[in-house]
Copies of this chain bind each other. A is one copy, B any other.
Amino acid sequence: MIEKIKRERMLVAFTLLGFLIIAFIVVTLGNMLATQVIQDLGGLIKVTQDPVVLNSIWLSMYTAFLATLVAFIFGVPLAYILARKEFLGKSLIESIVDVPVVVPHTAAGIALYTVFMHHGGLIGAPLSSLNIVCEDAVPGIVFAMLFVSAPFLINSARDGFKSVDPRLENVARSLGASQWHTFCKISFPLAFRHILTGSILSWARAISEFGAVIFLVSWPRIAPLLMYERFESYGLSTSRPIAVLLIFICLTVFIFLRLASMRWQRHDSD
């Protein structure tokens, strides 16, 4: 045993280093969850019955879902194009897709506000004449979430389509399938695991967004904003149970979808 450790010195050191960062994550979340459950289970239970909290969590989940849906509808086709076609400016487009990831959320929030504000917003004004109001309204939340979360879905879906051998598509076409039929029956199912992973990430990213949303929409309050307000107004003991509940819900969804995507028959190559 000792001999083995000596032989594998580097791996042992690596494991220790890696362990620290895992421990950091686990301790940070675990400590909060444990503290809440042990010291103030009542507070947690109360929060699960507070309609304001539940409403805002529901709002967050729902808008995040909408944002992911929109990202899916517009992003999956884009991902397919990026995976399959070579064209001038492609790497520019790819960089643009990544930009929301590098832009600070609050700056993105200000940008979103500038564009989507009711009066004079480049997009907000025309939309509001269609009776779609973004400022302080659900569409605004969805747009803000979309901005920050779409890159995750697009990049993941692109990797997915790239992992599908174009020859499979060629064969399908030679067998008489149209481009669209080929996409539906071959490319999409084979890239599905990647797309699902991307959607989970995108949803998680959307539900956790705070900075970008609050500039445009401070009402209705998404869960992160409610939590911040509660923290500022009443402190840790009031806001922590909401955090615990939210984390719990997110982790449940995450674990569930992750298991689902792992069980999804692994026909793809990696």
Contacts and interface: CB of A to CB of B under 8 A. Distances in A.
Contacts of A253: 102
B78 A21 contact: yes
B99 A236 contact: no
Question: In which size bucket is the chain A interface?
Answer: 35 or more
Given A18-B78, A96-B25, A227-B110, A208 B105 contact: yes
Contact of A104 (B25, B236, B247): B247
Contact of A236 (B26, B110, B209, B211): B110
A41 interface: no
A239 interface: yes
Label chain A's interface by main secondary structure: helix
Number of copies: 2
B103 A208 contact: yes
Nearest to A207: B104
Contacts of A100: 25
B17 A78 contact: yes
A27 B105 contact: no
A243 B11 CA distance: 44
A148 B200 CA distance: 17
Contacts of A96: 22, 25-26
A255 B99 CA distance: 10
A251 interface: yes
Contacts of A234: none
11 contacts: A10-B179, A25-B96, A29-B103, A95-B254, A104-B223, A104-B247, A105-B209, A105-B224, A106-B227, A107-B247, A210-B211
Interface of A: 8-11, 13-15, 17-22, 24-29, 31-32, 35, 60, 71, 73-75, 77-82, 85, 91, 93, 95-108, 110-115, 122-123, 143, 146-147, 150, 154, 178-180, 183, 200-201, 204-205, 207-211, 214-215, 223-225, 227-228, 231, 236, 239-240, 242-244, 246-247, 250-251, 253-255, 258, 262
